[in-house]
Amino acid sequence: MITKEEVKTAKDQWEQAKLSHSLAIAAWGLLRKHKDSIIQSLLLTGSTQGACFEAYEQYDEDKRKTTEELNSFMNRAEQLYSELDAKFKLQNV
């Protein structure tokens, strides 16, 4: 038997996952928007140009993976919420 509290908790988790995913997309966008400035800052620390580009690309790849993982989590949370909500409604007809 599914309770109203379980449905609410699943919905809250889905909403939190959506927020986390949105923030990750925004952060990744900022990273990409400021690529030149980031690389320039790394150059000022004395790193070689190749090392700076490699460091930036690695960080960009990490952000991409994080964003994809959060998207997957958000989709699973939405699916769980949808399933619980449907079951709850069926049992309370």
Q: What is the pLDDT along the chain (93 residues), one digit of tens a residue?
A: 999 999 999 999 999 999 999 999 999 999 999 999 999 999 999 999 999 999 999 999 999 999 999 999 999 999 999 999 999 999 987
Given a contact cutoff of 8 angstroms between Cβ atoms, the answer to whether 75 and 13 are in contact is: no
**Domain spans of the chain, in order of start:** 4-91
d(CA 28, CA 22): 10
> Considering the entire predicted model, what is its pTM?
0.86
CA dist list (Å): 71 to 14, 29, 43, 57, 77 = 11, 15, 33, 21, 10
> Is 18 within 8 Å of 12 (Cβ atoms)?
no
